[in-house]
Structure formats: C-alpha cells, structure tokens
Structure 1
Amino acid sequence: MRSQTAPPRAARVATWLYFGLNGFAVGMWVVHIPSIEHAAGISHPTLGLLLLVLGGAAFTGMQVAGPLVDRLGQRRLVPAAGVLLGIALAGPGLATNWWTLGLTLILIGFGNGSIDVGMNAQAVVVERGYPRPIMAAFHAMWSIGGAIAALIGAATLRAGVPIEVTLGVAGALCIVIALAASRFLIEATTDENDEPAEERAKPPGKLVWALGGLAFGLMLAEGVANDWAALHFRDILGTSVSTAAYAYGAFAVAMTVGRFLTDRVAAVVGPAAIVRWGAAMAAVGLTIVIVVPWVPVALFGWALFGLGLAGGVPQLFTAAGNLDPRAAGALMARVVGLGYVGLLAGPALIGGLAHWMPLNIAFILPLVLCVLTFLGGPVLKSRS
C-alpha cells in the first residue's frame, strides 16, 4: 500500500526539476571559476585547497542529509537543500578574498551534497510508482542542467555581465524552482516494503558497502574523463586546444544520451546487466583511448567510454535506496558518498600518476576499476 500526496507523474516532473536545478547550479559555479579566482585574488594552489574544502563540505552534507531524509521526510529536506544551494550560489560572485570564498564554498558544497542524497532518495520513491526503471533519466536531467548553465554562463561572460549579477539571478532561479516543485514531492512509507519480516530483518551492511565500492569505481572513471579527456587529446595526441575540447564533448554527449536510453534497456535486461556490460563497454572504450594514436578513433573511444558509464551509477543508487525503505536516506548517503569520493579522487590520482608515466598509461587505473565493476556487477542480483 502507498500513501501519496501527489500523483507519481507530477512527482516525476518535480524530481526532474530538482536534478536539473542541481546540475545547473554546479555548472554555473564551474563556468565562472576562472573569473571568481581572479576577482578574489587567489592563486591556483589556493583554489585547489578551496576545491578540496568544497568537496569535503559536500561529503559532509551527504552524510548529514541521509538520516535527515529518513527522519524529516523528503518533502522537507529536498526543497530546503535546494534553497540553501540557491542562496549559496550567489556567494562566490561577492567573494573578495580566500576566506570569504571559502565560506561560500562550504555552503555550496553542503547544499550540493544534501540535495544530491535527497533528490536521489526521492527518485527511488517515484520509481516505485512506475512499472519500469526511470532512474537514469533523472541523472540525464542533471547533465542537461549543466549544459544549460554552460551556455548561459558563456553568453553572460561574453556580454560582460558582472558575475555577481549572473550568479545572483541563477541562485534566485534555483530558489524559485526548489519552492515551486516542493508541493509535488511524495514521501516513502514503511508499509511499501512487502517483503517477509524475516527478510527485512537481514542487515544490508555488507551489500551497501559493495554497492558503494562499485559506485566509487564508476564515478572515479567518470571524474577522470571530466578532467583529463581534453588534456589527453592535447598532450598525447598533439591536437589543438579547440580540437581537444571535442574529447570531453564526445564523452559528455554520449553519457547524456546513454542515460536517456538506459531505463528502457534496464527494463528488459535488468540492473545487474546494465552495470556489468556497461562497465565492459567502458573498458573497451578506454582501451581504445589508451592504445590508439588516431584522433577520430580516440574520439570514438571517449564516446564509447561515456556510453558505457552512463547507466551504472543510477542502478546502484536505486539498489541502495530499495535495500530498506525505513532507512533509505542513510543507506543511499553511504553509496552516494563513496561515489562522490571516487569522483573527486580520480582526477587527483591520475594527476599523480602522470608525473611518473604518460597520461594514457595512467588511464589503466580506471580501466582496471571498470573490469572489477564488471566482475562485481552480479551483486545487484542478490537483491533482485
């Protein structure tokens, strides 16, 4: 039995909006990083330390939001996190030194981590009202939000709009969307779990960490592509800067398209197959990137890499949220948090390895993790 305060279709649209809001907010910050660095008068090393602070705040937000989702409910936490993120987004444009920027990044990170867990938990609840998987499309909306931010940010920077105005308006838009969409969210209820009592009593701890480990590997690989795809083209294949941008573009477009396609495929083959064979596809794509010196083929490799990674993480988040509806937020916080650690760690690890070996050889690390994900993918069948 379910007790819902809004039709699943309305909740689905609202959840789309929250994913798009999150991607848009993150994208607006990323696009303006060079301008903000200059306005705050900080160096690259200082910026690097502040980005670590942002990452730490996001991880903290995830771990705090998980139990709060279970205690306060998603209809309270998700809009509150969206409002916090919107307010914080205006901060970097007003920062004048390292510590004011650091304070705003703590708020951005905490808000981003909180809404990340909350909206994924809401997506799991909404998905239960549908006869087929719909999680991957929510993650595709995150990518769409980021793309919109990139276009708007580029246009406003080109037009000379002050960054404090752009980020202030963007933050206000996030607040409006967060509040307007809140009335359509639905709550999970413990009576949704129709499993026998003895099955519900089994502790999901080991399975949670297994799912988190898989999320860590896949998101580490994604982080590598985000930060190093263009540099691979420029430094290893010797392309121009403009051509190098196509490497990340191929990866990002393929991942977004793949996320829109994943749900229908998952309905036929199941989540374990999506994780396993997606990881295998990603491994093949990255192998092409590592060994092939020709730009068109390497471009295909990056696209195949993105397509392979597209569907795995949404399946892992869904599995975590369905382990125990009574503690879905806390369980999901572990998996999302471990994945986020991988996303942050990947670029840094590759950067360290690149001091000792060519960049393409350093890509063997995410390749190995993709292979391990293929081998560990059947863990999802244990909860099917």
Structure 2
Amino acid sequence: MTELSPPQARTVARRARAATWIVFALNGFAVGMWVVHIPVVERAAGISHPALGALLLVLGGAALAGMQVAGRLADRFGNHRIVPVAGILLGVALVLPGLAGNWWTLALALLGFGFFNGSLDVAMNAQAVVVERAYSRPIMAAFHAMWSIGGALASVAGAAVLDAGLPAVVSLGGTGLLCALVVAVAGRFLLATPAASAQESTVDERKSPPARLVWLLGLLALAMMLSEGVANDWSALYLRDGLGTSESTAALAYGSFAVAMTVGRFATDRVAAFAGPVAVMRYGSALAALGLTVASASPWVPLSLIGWAVFGLGLSGGVPQLFTAAGNLDTRASGALMARVVGVGYLGLLSGPAIIGGLAHFMPLNVTFVLPIVLCLLGVIFAPALKPR
C-alpha cells in the first residue's frame, strides 16, 4: 500500500471522522424513530403493556447477541466492513415492526432490529476508536453527542409523521431506507482496519489485557449506563409524582438532563485532551453524584431541574472514555473487547428501569436514587482503570 503524505493522511482522517459522525447520528435517528412509534406498533400488534415489556427484553437480548457477534467479525474482517453491512441490515430491519400484526411477528421483528442495532453499535464504536487514533487526540465523546442529536431529531420528525397520520410501515420504512443508503455511502470513507491473520489469532495470551481489567471497565460502563437509564425512565415521573408538577413541567427534567449531556459530550473531548480520561471519569462521576443528590433531595422544582442538568453534565464524558479505553486495550482484539464492555454496560441500561421500579414498591422513588448515586461514586473510586496503557 502506498504511504500517504501527512496532508493526505489528515484529509483521509477528516473524511472518516465526518462519515463516523453521520453513522452515529443515523443510528440515533433510527433508534429514536422506533421509540416514538412504540405505542403505534403496540396497538397494531394487539398486545398488552406487560407483553410489550417482555418483547422489549427480546430486543435487548438480541442486541447483546449482535454486539458479541459483531465484535468478533470486526476483528476478523475489519470494522470498516462491518459498519456498512450492519447499518444496511438495520435499515432493512427497521421496517419490520411496522409490519407486525401480532405478538410473534413483532417478536421476530424485534429480534432482527435488536441484533443489527447491537451489531452496528459495537462496529461504529470500534471504528470511532480507530479514527481517534488517527487524530492522536480525544474525539470519541463528540461521536456520542451526534448519536444524541440524531435521537433528538427523531423525536421531532416522529411527532410530525405521527401527527400527519402516516402508517408506521411508511415512516419506519422511509427511515430505514434513508439509513441504509446514507450508511452505504458513508462506509466508503471509513478508515480501513487490517483483518486478523492466523498468526495474530495465536498471539501469546500473556500479552492480552488482564481479564479483571476488562470486567472492571464493563462494571463501570454498567454503572454509568444504569445511571443514565434512571434519568431516561424516571426523571419526569419523579417530578410529576414526587414534586406534584404538571406533565409538561415534568418533561423538563429529562429535557434538562439530555441537553446538558449532549453539550457536555461536545465539550468532553477538549477536557479529556487537557486533563486525561481518568480525571474525566473521576470528577464527572462526582459531579453526577452531586447532581442526582440535589435533584432527588430538593423540594423546589427549579433546583431539582438544575440537579438533573448537573447529573447529565457529569455523566456525559464517562461512557465515551470507557469505550476508548476498551478499544485500546489490545488492537488485535479491539472489537471483541469493545463488545464485552458495551454488552455489560447495556445490561445496566436494560436492567436499571426494572431495578428502580422494584425498589419503588418498598420506598419513595427519590430514595431509590441512592443506588445510581452509589454507582456514580464507583466511577470516582475506580477511575484509574482508564489510565492509558
């Protein structure tokens, strides 16, 4: 292969960065469009809320499986090849829930959607690590901010198509087609990663990262993502039921959290370049614990909203730094390592709502928030695990 000159290498890296931004945004948009269509799909399938909850667990399980498969395939064939394949298949799978007419067809649809969404999640994060290496400075958090922006745009677009009365199969199908086409084009500009050779597959195990370090990163990802899930699922409910606000005011709790998290992710890369990933995790986790403490203890709505915003700001940098750390533990198995850490973290996102809901049967909702506060403090204690190696 011809070696690129420094200007050419910078141009290739910039194009790969833009392409990866687009993939993250489109993934956030696709997931967001599915989320806003959940009530419509539930009615069309003729299922109850408990049945929907069970099927969403099917989606989560399929996503976990997709992460593990994609991680190994990314190491074997290169994540630049897996990203467009997973993105195109996700676009195809997105239309399937709109076609479901009963519980079992919806289950099959969610199996496909979950599997390919999990596959794309791991593959695009692995590509983001490669692009970040090319830049030689932190840029991971901005990719995650683009995912959030994609989700926000989906909430607006979804509301518009639902208000217009478009059938779910049309709006989800159109979104899927858009995602498939754009990801296919963006995939041409991703940075190539070498496929694993037979020799590399037999590398001395003693050179592999310690298993306990991989699981520690996974535990921290679980802690951060479970805490994020608390805001996603319980912040508005707490303001409505705990502080007696209206539905519209209660919605500001999640809004303040989400906006602060997105802004924080755009700022995190500069902070990480200056202070390092350990500081981002340590002080961000401490800030998140403080914010949630204020949000859950304050009897005043404005102060509680500030607390939710501080909570989002504190959490904004942790997960991107964890994914970067996992992807750089061993470049020979970056995808598989990323899949483990992302998969364990995803368990937190899935289990968090159920855990908090179960605890809320025995204690006030704001008291259950002690759990995510303690989990954030784990980020303070174990932040040195992110030290570059």
Give the TM-score, by structure 1 length: 0.95
- For residue 369 of structure 1, the aligned residue among 333, 350, 375 is 375
- For residue 82 of structure 2, the aligned residue among 38, 58, 77 is 77
Corresponding residue SS for 1:356: coil
The one-letter amino acid paired with 1:82 is: G
Residue number in structure 1 paired with 2:200:
none
The one-letter amino acid paired with 1:104 is: A
The one-letter amino acid paired with 1:306 is: G
The one-letter amino acid paired with 1:214 is: L
Moved over 4 A (4+): 1-6, 197-200
CA distance in 2, matches of 1:180, 1:119: 15
The question of 1:208 aligning with 2:214 is answered yes
Alpha-carbon distance change, 36 to 2 in structure 1, aligned in 2, over 3 angstroms: farther
- For residue 26 of structure 2, the aligned residue among 1, 17, 21 is 21
CA distance in 2, matches of 1:274, 1:369: 16
| 2:326 and 2:337 in contact (8 A); partners too | yes
Runs of 5+ consecutive residues of structure 2 not aligned to the other structure: 197-202
Residue number in structure 2 paired with 1:194:
none
The one-letter amino acid paired with 2:132 is: E
1:345-371 CA-partner distances (Å, limit 9, x unpaired) = 111100000000000000000000001
Alpha-carbon distance change, 218 to 73 in structure 1, aligned in 2, over 3 angstroms: same
CA distance in 1, matches of 2:253, 2:46: 31
CA distance in 2, matches of 1:357, 1:80: 47
The question of 1:158 aligning with 2:158 is answered no
1:152-194 CA-partner distances (Å, limit 9, x unpaired) = 0001111111111111100100100111111101123499xxx
The question of 1:329 aligning with 2:335 is answered yes
CA distance in 2, matches of 1:21, 1:203: 33
The question of 1:278 aligning with 2:284 is answered yes
CA distance in 2, matches of 1:258, 1:47: 33
The CA deviation at 1:203 is 3.2
The question of 1:247 aligning with 2:259 is answered no
| 1:2 and 1:189 in contact (8 A); partners too | no
Corresponding residue SS for 1:161: coil
Residue number in structure 1 paired with 2:316:
310
- For residue 15 of structure 2, the aligned residue among 5, 10, 14 is 10
The one-letter amino acid paired with 2:130 is: V
| 1:62 and 1:333 in contact (8 A); partners too | yes
CA distance in 2, matches of 1:215, 1:362: 20
Map residues 1-384 of structure 1 onto 2, 5 A cutoff: 7-189=12-194, 201-381=207-387, 383-384=388-389
| 1:189 and 1:325 in contact (8 A); partners too | no
Alpha-carbon distance change, 283 to 35 in structure 1, aligned in 2, over 3 angstroms: same
**Number of residues of Structure 1 aligned to a counterpart in Structure 2:** 378
| 1:190 and 1:325 in contact (8 A); partners too | no
| 1:139 and 1:259 in contact (8 A); partners too | yes
The one-letter amino acid paired with 1:73 is: G
The CA deviation at 1:198 is 9.7
1:83-133 CA-partner distances (Å, limit 9, x unpaired) = 111001111111100011111100110011000000000000000111320
CA distance in 2, matches of 1:8, 1:348: 42
| 2:77 and 2:195 in contact (8 A); partners too | no
CA distance in 1, matches of 2:119, 2:182: 16
CA distance in 2, matches of 1:379, 1:359: 32
Corresponding residue SS for 2:191: coil
CA distance in 2, matches of 1:189, 1:90: 33
Corresponding residue SS for 1:7: helix
Alpha-carbon distance change, 285 to 3 in structure 1, aligned in 2, over 3 angstroms: farther
Corresponding residue SS for 1:183: helix
Corresponding residue SS for 1:129: helix
CA distance in 1, matches of 2:282, 2:89: 37
Corresponding residue SS for 2:160: helix
| 2:80 and 2:193 in contact (8 A); partners too | no
Give the TM-score, by structure 2 length: 0.94
The CA deviation at 1:204 is 3.2
Runs of 5+ consecutive residues of structure 1 not aligned to the other structure: 192-196
CA distance in 1, matches of 2:264, 2:137: 17
Residue number in structure 1 paired with 2:199:
none
CA distance in 1, matches of 2:102, 2:135: 49
CA distance in 2, matches of 1:149, 1:358: 33
The one-letter amino acid paired with 2:68 is: Q
CA distance in 1, matches of 2:204, 2:40: 57
CA distance in 2, matches of 1:2, 1:134: 27
